Amino acid sequence: MSEISVTKDAAPAADALVVLSKVNKHFGALHVLQDIDLTIARGEVVVVIGPSGSGKSTLCRTINRLETTDSGSITIDGKPLPQEGRELARLRSDVGMVFQSFNLFAHKTVLENVTLGQVKVRKKARKEAEEKARTLLDRVGVGAQADKYPAQLSGGQQQRVAIARALAMDPKVMLFDEPTSALDPEMINEVLEVMQQLARDGMTMVVVTHEMGFARSAANRVVFMADGRIVEEARPDQFFSNPRSDRAKDFLSKILHH
């Protein structure tokens, strides 16, 4: 490989919230994450892009330990990720996650989806939790659907409910694992708009996506991954107009110029 060393352009993190250091992971013989070092500052929006199979989803999922790692360390707000059990559950409640396939609780109404974590994990009173849930549902524009079941909603609506469900826990950081990849084209924007607003409000975000428009407009930093490595990190304007690594040039030439 020609570009082993990582090209860094972005400013170093002042107030680190998520720190990955020398993280390695294998799926059998496949080395999906190779010596990943990544620091995400409080309030920063980091967009992770790269060809499929590059390990970007896996990277996102290791941050709340939905994927285990083989070596290296991950800390969130100064605390290392626990292995299992209650400690891990407590830490996960501070890390919001939005999945490609929404994963709303199918047997619960929209409102219950957003209140469940508050009541069971945060031990809030039901009334207080429901008030907060309705506020959040209004904020993402699905307030009118509160009493429906997930299957009765469109994909875009479901994904916005999933964002509200994650926000209900008052997370320190939000992880988005290809949040628009399973959506019909006309529904992508309604989800991206919610994410744009969230970014403007100062939420710390890690977004794995193929939406280059979102990366350009909302990201503070673009992380480009290929073959399990971070190949390039740069501000979005720099990355898109002047990529440094051959791998990134090749990737961008394939997706940007039709």
Partner 1 sequence: MNVLSDNFAMFREGFLGTVELTALSAVLALVLGTLIAAFRVSPVPALRIFGSAWVTLLRNTPLVLLFLAVTLGLPALGLKGWDSFWLAVMALGCYTSAFICEAIRSGINTVPVGQAEAARSIGMTFSQTLGQIVLPQAARTAIPPIGSLLIALAKNTAIASGFNVTELGSVQKTLNAASGYNIYVIFLWIAICYIIITFTISGLFRLLENRLAVAR
DSSP label of 48: E
Q: Give the binding-site size for partner 1 (rule: CB under 8 A).
A: 31
* Interface map 109-128 toward partner 1 (x if CB under 8 A): -------xx--xx-------
Q: How far apart are CA 213 and CA 211, in angstroms?
A: 5
**Closer residue to partner 1 in complex, CB, 22/120:** 120
Q: What does the angle CA 98 – CA 106 – CA 110 come to, to the nearest 5 degrees?
A: 70
Tell the smallest beta-carbon distance from residue 211 to partner 1 (Å).
21
| Residue 175: both structure tokens together | 């992880």
Tell the smallest beta-carbon distance from residue 97 to partner 1 (Å).
4
* Interface map 177-216 toward partner 1 (x if CB under 8 A): ----------------------------------------
**Closer residue to partner 1 in complex, CB, 59/231:** 59
Q: How far apart are CA 178 and CA 191, in angstroms?
A: 11
**Closer residue to partner 1 in complex, CB, 85/185:** 85
CA-based R_g, the chain, Å? 18
Residue 84 sits in the site that holds partner 1 (CB under 8 A): yes
Q: What does the angle CA 181 – CA 162 – CA 55 come to, to the nearest 5 degrees?
A: 45
β-pairing, 71-76 with 79-80?
antiparallel
Residue 90 sits in the site that holds partner 1 (CB under 8 A): yes
The SS3 of residue 178 is: coil
Tell the smallest beta-carbon distance from residue 7 to partner 1 (Å).
32
Of the candidates 92, 160, 221, 247, which one interacts with partner 1 according to CB under 8 A?
92
Residue 97 sits in the site that holds partner 1 (CB under 8 A): yes
Question: Which window, 7-15, 29-37, 92-100, 242-250, contacts partner 1 (CB under 8 A)?
Answer: 92-100
Interacting residues with partner 1 (CB under 8 A): 64, 66, 84-86, 89-97, 99, 101, 103-107, 116-117, 120-121, 149, 151, 162, 165-166, 169
